[in-house]
């Protein structure tokens, strides 16, 4: 059975779906996206993703109100048509189609596409093993808080990391860690504080980050929102990354330096379980 995707109002088999070669998402990366996890057939943090989508569209001046179409219904439609129990739903909205011009045209009809991907998220070998990350200078643009489809640099850095035998990259700006190629970065200190970079234009305002901070706070963890250096991360007791599809992912080495004893630590393991448990209680069906 072929995968059913959604493009501009229609559900179609993936092979017969397409968008214009003049789409500004394709030519300029003039598009925003969201990735929402599906577990037990339910959507994780759907409304938070939609709020961030609205913000991203606003920051790029793409004149489209996401509430003007039934995005929830389309997510559910893709889930049902593809029998998706666990995995993700990807949503992309571009400014639309126009002759190639650096000047952003006004009044375009945005292009909207969504597709699903079945993936094991909960039983993750990577979460059992923990990730090895390398660090690289963060050479992305200065508005990393907008979830645009301009993903070339993090994609190159992830490829370099994996090519060198690691799992991912943590990017570094002025000596402090910004984030992973597609995740937020966090550490736990020897005395049990959770350190995570505060929200600014430097990083994507992760939906998983926000949920994990809430759950960690409720569980009594002390949280410090501030930048941390690579050296501080290497000295940390535990380290982890968060994203919609990785949930809470342990990081066990940075640039070859083991974190703690180099194995997945108890606190991160607990945070991952807590995140999955709480997300399951709040799914949208």
Interface positions, 106-165, toward ligand PLP (CB under 6 A)? none
**Encoding tokens for residue 74?**
């389309």
Contact status: 76 vs ligand PLP (CB under 6 A): no
Residues 40 and 283: beta-carbon distance below 8 Å: yes
Count of residues interacting with ligand PLP (CB under 6 A): 13
Q: Give least dist CB 178 to ligand PLP, A.
A: 8
Contact status: 92 vs ligand PLP (CB under 6 A): no
Q: How far apart are CA 96 and CA 77, in angstroms?
A: 23
Residues 252 and 132: beta-carbon distance below 8 Å: yes
- By annotation, the residues acting in catalysis are 147
Identify the DSSP state of 24. Answer: H
**Encoding tokens for residue 219?**
């569980």
From the list 168, 179, 202, 238, which residue makes contact with ligand PLP (rule: CB under 6 A)? Answer: 179
Q: How far apart are CA 214 and CA 69, in angstroms?
A: 30
Residues 240 and 269: beta-carbon distance below 8 Å: no
Q: How far apart are CA 56 and CA 190, in angstroms?
A: 37
Interface positions, 9-38, toward ligand PLP (CB under 6 A)? 35
Site string for ligand PLP, 197-216 (x = CB under 6 A): -------x-xxxx-------
From the list 183, 196, 267, 279, which residue makes contact with ligand PLP (rule: CB under 6 A)? Answer: 183
Residue 67, Cβ density class (10 Å: 0-12 exposed, 13-18 middle, ≥19 buried): exposed
The count of other CB atoms within 10 Å of the CB of residue 277 is 10
Contact status: 184 vs ligand PLP (CB under 6 A): yes
Q: Segment near ligand PLP (CB under 6 A), from 14-22, 191-199, 239-247, 274-282?
A: 239-247
From the list 57, 78, 177, 244, which residue makes contact with ligand PLP (rule: CB under 6 A)? Answer: 244
Contact status: 243 vs ligand PLP (CB under 6 A): yes
Contact status: 94 vs ligand PLP (CB under 6 A): no
Q: Which one, 104 or 150, has the nearer CB to ligand PLP?
A: 150
HEC letters along 110-128: CEEEEEEEECCCCCCHHHH
Q: Give least dist CB 10 to ligand PLP, A.
A: 26
Enumerate binding residues for ligand PLP (CB under 6 A). 35, 179, 182-184, 204, 206-209, 242-244
């Amino acid at each position: 059975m072929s995968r059913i995707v959604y493009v501009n109002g229609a559900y179609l088999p993936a092979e017969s779906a397409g968008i214009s070669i003049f789409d500004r998402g394709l030519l300029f990366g003039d598009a925003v996206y969201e990735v929402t996890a599906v577990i037990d057939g339910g959507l994780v943090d759907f409304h938070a993703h939609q709020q961030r989508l609205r913000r991203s569209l606003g920051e790029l001046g793409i004149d489209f109100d996401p509430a003007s179409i039934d995005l929830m219904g389309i997510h559910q439609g893709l889930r049902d048509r593809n029998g998706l129990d666990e995995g993700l739903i990807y949503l992309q909205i571009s400014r639309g189609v126009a002759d190639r011009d650096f000047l952003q045209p006004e009044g375009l009809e945005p292009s909207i596409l969504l597709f699903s991907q079945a993936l094991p998220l909960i039983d993750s070998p990577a979460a059992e093993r923990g990730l090895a990350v390398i660090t690289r200078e963060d050479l992305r643009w200065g508005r990393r808080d907008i979830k645009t489809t301009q993903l070339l640099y993090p994609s190159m850095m992830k490829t370099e990391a994996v090519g060198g035998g690691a799992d991912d990259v943590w990017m570094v700006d002025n000596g402090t860690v910004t984030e992973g190629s597609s995740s937020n970065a966090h550490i736990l200190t020897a005395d049990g504080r959770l350190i995570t970079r505060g929200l600014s234009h430097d990083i994507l305002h992760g939906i998983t980050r926000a949920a994990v901070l809430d759950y960690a706070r409720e569980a009594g963890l002390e949280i410090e929102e501030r930048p941390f250096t690579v050296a501080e991360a290497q000295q940390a007791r535990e380290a982890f990354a968060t994203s919609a599809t990785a949930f809470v992912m342990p990081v066990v080495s940075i640039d070859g330096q083991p974190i703690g004893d180099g194995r997945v630590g108890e606190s991160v393991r607990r945070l991952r379980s807590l995140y999955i448990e709480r997300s399951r209680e709040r799914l949208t069906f």
